[in-house]
Structure 1
Amino acid sequence: MRRQVEGEEEHRREDRGPHFAVEDVHIESNGRHGTLTLRQISGPALSAITVTVTGDGVHGKMMVSFEPLGTSYEDSFEIGPLATGGTVTVPFALERTHAATKVILHLDCRSTDSTVSWRRSVATTVDPLSEYRRRTQE
């Protein structure tokens, strides 16, 4: 009985946590870099969120570019604070610009009093080629 009560409480704690959605995608004209607009759609105010950007051929924010040597990316970085209704911009980079790619954001969220944390994931598909076609037809 005790385990059931503890399990139910954990489920309620998770349900009361933050929920997110990708609201917008912007891809730069080079097709390799872009941003996602992440909106917190419900849940408590957060003091910070650690974002880890993943996906096949996907990287986080560009740190430094040494053209002959390559580019350095930071796949995990901190954003926030954030509260319900708030948005934040999350940068990403793609290795391939000719195919639709799924970008996944893993979000480690901390409450404003730092006593509770949650792990969330949201994903969206970005397509640089479709974005390029849309821009050239406008």
Structure 2
Amino acid sequence: MSTWSTRLKELGIELPGVAAPLAAYVPATQSGSWVFTSGQLPFVDGKLPATGKVGAEVSPEEAKQYAATCILNALAAVHALVGIDSIKRVVKVVGFVASAEGFTGQPGVVNGASELLGEIFGDAGKHARSAVGVAELPIGAPVEIELIVEV
């Protein structure tokens, strides 16, 4: 039987290190058979690749890629806590998109996270989801993603 870590290798994906919390929280926590991540920003090597609002300073296409980066950071937090191969299924994704006035493409942005989860986990990656437009995100990030998985 193939494992999720094997699947990541097949896709050429390497999980990043766990992003350091910006305040008083942990990157992920487990309760029973559920793992909940804190909101993950699109950090790459400890830095945001862009700041600003989607539909203004950040294009929807760029933001979609940042949502995929967020989900990799969330999976890294899960992996550090319980190991990626312990995931039975993805349960829910919550996406927050810092949105310029009039921008209504939040679902398309958050698809960056959802589509990557589908690539990695197949049917076990199908999940419930919210995609919410917000005025601001921490440190000017364009996207933030939370993940809930069953282990």
**Relative contact order, higher structure (CA 8 A, sep 6+):** 2
Identify, as 1 or 2, the structure richer in strand: 1
For normalisation by structure 2, the TM-score amounts to: 0.31
Q: Report which of the two structures shows the higher radius of gyration computed on alpha carbons.
A: 1
Identify, as 1 or 2, the structure richer in helix: 2
